[in-house]
Amino acid sequence: MNHQYTARHVRRRADNEDPVRPRAVIIGMMGAGKTRIGSLSARILDLDFVDADHEIERVVGMNIPQYFERYGEPAFRDVERDVIHRMLHDFDGIFALGGGAPMTPAVQDDLRDYMDHGGKVIYLMADPREAMMRAHRGGGRPMLQGNAQERWMNLYEQRDPVFRNLANVVVHTYGMTPRAAAQRMIEMANERIVHVTGEGIEPYNVQIGEGALNQLGQCLGEEPVRVALIHTQSVSRHSNRARTLLRRSGYEVTDIMIPDAEAGKTVTVANGVWERLGNEGFTRSDAIVGLGGGACTDVAGFIAATWMRGIRYVNCPTSLLAMVDASTGGKTGINTPQGKNLVGSFYTPAGVLADLKTLNTLPNDIFIEGLGEVAKCGFISDPEILRILHEHAAQLRAFDGATFLESPLKDVVAELIERSVRVKAYHVSNDLRERGLREFLNYGHTMGHAIEQLEHFRWRHGNAVAVGMVYAAELAALTGHIDESLVERHRELLTELGLPTSWNHASFDDVLTLMHRDKKARGNTLRFVVLDKEGLPTRLEDPPMDAVEEAFHRIQTNPTK
């Protein structure tokens, strides 16, 4: 027997050991190349590879056609189910399933459990005609007895929808050599995936990794005919790539460029986009793709939420800030002269593709401002984020997009994005419409939004939130929620990252007026998010006005911007 099918990593665990799990599980139709591409991927990664059919033959002591003939398909599916269950809990290489295995409910349950623990189920999609011919030429397939081509197509029609729904990664191999397909699979298997669900939310994935944009067609699905690609001039290199991917997937693409940053989040811009959609004949079954920074994904989501009362959309964030904040969670909106994001809706995307390749064109200062929202997630929920930020502060502050993808910093940033998205997903899943828990995501935003407004959006959001967090910490200390050491912790970490911790503005009354317009305010009552301790936020309602003003004066000391 070929050594690659021996199970040197398939072993019985001691009772006190945690289960080991496959690096990736491959599913797909007969003839899709699961064994060839899977074994090649394993060889490149120096991992073991196991084909479920070969493992079954080892277990039963005969080949599968013989077993089918002697015991029938139901008995085979029972053995297959047991082998897959064992391998999913006791094997740490690349594991390929037989074509029909994912149709068994018990196997589906095992695969979902595997994905819940961070596993990647990869649907390997070849050209159906090529896969059908390979499967037919290969022979020895009990499910293709009789008219092989007709039976293959019937099975494909049954299985393809199930495979698409089950997998959390889809790899198209049309026209690729086996090695190129293996490299693509490795790239996509290395993605980090955060699954977002909850009451009132149609589940979707946030996919984080180098090459995540390749999943654009899979996220949009087959129903849309027309796709509006909404983007800014500053990301033209990435929008060109997205446009090519969309057209290659068969969509009619309407290219819509909007102004950069907050200048694009206006009713005038939104109205111009609505006019384009109307002129292009966009229907309820068509879709929107928002590609750019946080402001762009905000307005793209708002357009999707309002066009014909809601059409499908996918967010493709190209900045760190957008990846960890604006693109996830379903908050969409535009600004008005009276305040930021006062007009908008809660409308979740069909998917979020955070492609790390887009960060290679990001200027250093734009990257650093995104760290403000990352730090916020650490202060309110995940202190491990704060540890990572402190440990890698010098490298993060020296971010250089040109060398980023080849540097050790890539994995650090990927982990920070994943952890931040998990924090946001937790709050969103439990409170989509911001009536309770989700308000904690606004830590630092009451003052931060006031700064943005009073600076006419010359201050970037992440920088304003950094100062806003210091303000919230000062207010929490003044009202007895935390001690001064945690205030200093804010200042020290944010300074290490290159973020501002103070702001000069002459009029407290100006700030107070905008605080009363904050979305968390209720009537004339001011409400703030503060900390009781690191990782434990709380609401502070109607604090003493002298504390509100004193905290304002404290952030004006020793200006850093």
Residue 403 annotated as binding? no
By the 8 A CB rule, do 474 and 528 touch? no
By the 8 A CB rule, do 464 and 452 touch? yes
Angle at 324 between CA 382 and CA 224, to 5 degrees: 135
Residue 361 annotated as binding? yes
Residue 406 annotated as binding? no
Residue 226 annotated as binding? no
Q: Is the dihedral of CA 503, 509, 513, 518 positive or negative?
A: positive
The Cα 476–Cα 410 span in angstroms is 35
Task: Determine the distance from the C-alpha atom of residue 285 to the mean position of all C-alpha atoms in its chain, rounded to a whole number.
Answer: 24
Residue ranges with strand state E in 131-261: 169-172, 192-196, 204-209, 226-232, 252-258
Considering just the CA atoms, what is the radius of gyration of the chain in Å?
Answer: 26
Strand, helix or coil at 222? coil
Residue 294 annotated as binding? yes
By the 8 A CB rule, do 48 and 4 touch? yes
Residue 7 annotated as binding? no
Residue 424 annotated as binding? no
Residue 138 annotated as binding? no
Residue 318 annotated as binding? yes
The Cα 29–Cα 99 span in angstroms is 5
Q: Counting beta carbons within 10 angstroms of the beta carbon of residue 2, is it exposed (0 to 12), middle (13 to 18) or buried (19 or more)?
A: exposed
Residue 31 annotated as binding? yes
Residue 427 annotated as binding? no
Residue 240 annotated as binding? no
Residue 159 annotated as binding? yes
Task: Pick the closest to residue 228 from 298, 301, 295 (CA basis).
Answer: 301
Residue 554 annotated as binding? no
Residue 316 annotated as binding? no
Residue 325 annotated as binding? no
Q: Is the dihedral of CA 375, 379, 381, 383 positive or negative?
A: positive
Q: Is the dihedral of CA 394, 396, 397, 399 positive or negative?
A: positive
Residue 373 annotated as binding? yes
Residue 53 annotated as binding? yes
Residue 296 annotated as binding? yes
Residue 99 annotated as binding? yes
Residue 358 annotated as binding? yes
Give whole-number Cα distances, 543 to 159, 284, 394, 540, in Å: 59, 47, 37, 7
Residue 113 annotated as binding? no
Q: Counting beta carbons within 10 angstroms of the beta carbon of residue 400, is it exposed (0 to 12), middle (13 to 18) or buried (19 or more)?
A: middle
Residue 283 annotated as binding? no
The Cα 502–Cα 508 span in angstroms is 14
By the 8 A CB rule, do 449 and 433 touch? no
Residue 35 annotated as binding? yes
Task: Pick the closest to residue 461 from 268, 297, 238 (CA basis).
Answer: 297
Residue 331 annotated as binding? yes
Residue list, annotated binding site for NAD(+): 260-265, 294-298, 318-319, 331, 340, 358-361
Residue list, annotated binding site: 31-36, 53, 77, 99, 141, 159, 260-265, 294-298, 318-319, 331, 340, 358-361, 373, 445, 461
Residue list, annotated binding site for substrate: 53, 77, 99, 159
Residue list, annotated binding site for Zn(2+): 373, 445, 461
Residue list, annotated binding site for Mg(2+): 35
Residue list, annotated binding site for ATP: 31-36, 141
